[in-house]
């Protein structure tokens, strides 16, 4: 139980310390300015402060266990949301690719005498 409480207390600091050194790489990977990348830490810090102001009295009224379970649920939902966004981004990319393959021959008809071989796969 003690280890769980220590991990919960250190969550904010660990997240901030892990994100700090990665900021230059994030800027290069996502092609963003340093000011834009710093907004990730600002948004995390703002919610961290606002959350403490809200969840302190909430845990006094509803109990510490309820507050810990709600926090764990929010962390799980955020992680699942990030994973789901990757799933939907992959699905969108597949739709765009399939649509492009179908539309491309229609958008530019072949010249006279030439043929276009399209890969057809039965479903």
pLDDT tens, position by position, 26-49: 889 889 898 888 888 888 888 888
Confidence of residue 11 (pLDDT cuts 50, 70, 90): confident
Q: Containing H/E element for 79?
A: helix 64-107
Answer with the residue of higher pLDDT: 55 or 96: 55
**27 touches 34 (CB < 8 A):** yes
Predicted TM-score (pTM) of the model is 0.56
**80 pLDDT tier (thresholds 50, 70, 90):** confident
DSSP 105: H
44-66 b/e (C-beta count within 10 Å ≥ 16 → b): eeeeeeeeeeebeeebeeeeeee
Which pLDDT band, with edges at 50, 70 and 90, does 115 fall under? low
Hey, which bits of the chain come out as E strands?
none
Domain boundaries, the chain: 2-62
Whether pLDDT at 116 is above 60: no
How far is it, in rounded angstroms, from Cα 60 to Cα 99?
55
């Amino acid at each position: 139980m003690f280890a769980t409480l220590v991990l919960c207390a250190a969550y904010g600091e660990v997240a901030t310390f892990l994100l700090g050194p990665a900021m230059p790489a994030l800027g290069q990977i996502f092609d963003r300015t340093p000011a834009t990348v710093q907004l990730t830490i600002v948004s995390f810090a703002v919610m961290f402060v606002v959350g403490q102001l809200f969840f302190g009295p909430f845990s006094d009224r509803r109990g510490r266990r309820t507050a810990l379970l709600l926090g764990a649920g929010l962390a799980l939902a955020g992680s699942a949301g990030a994973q789901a966004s990757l799933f939907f981004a992959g699905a969108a990319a597949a739709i765009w690719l399939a649509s492009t393959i179908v539309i491309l021959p229609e958008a530019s008809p072949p010249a006279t005498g030439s043929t276009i071989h399209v890969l057809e796969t039965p479903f």
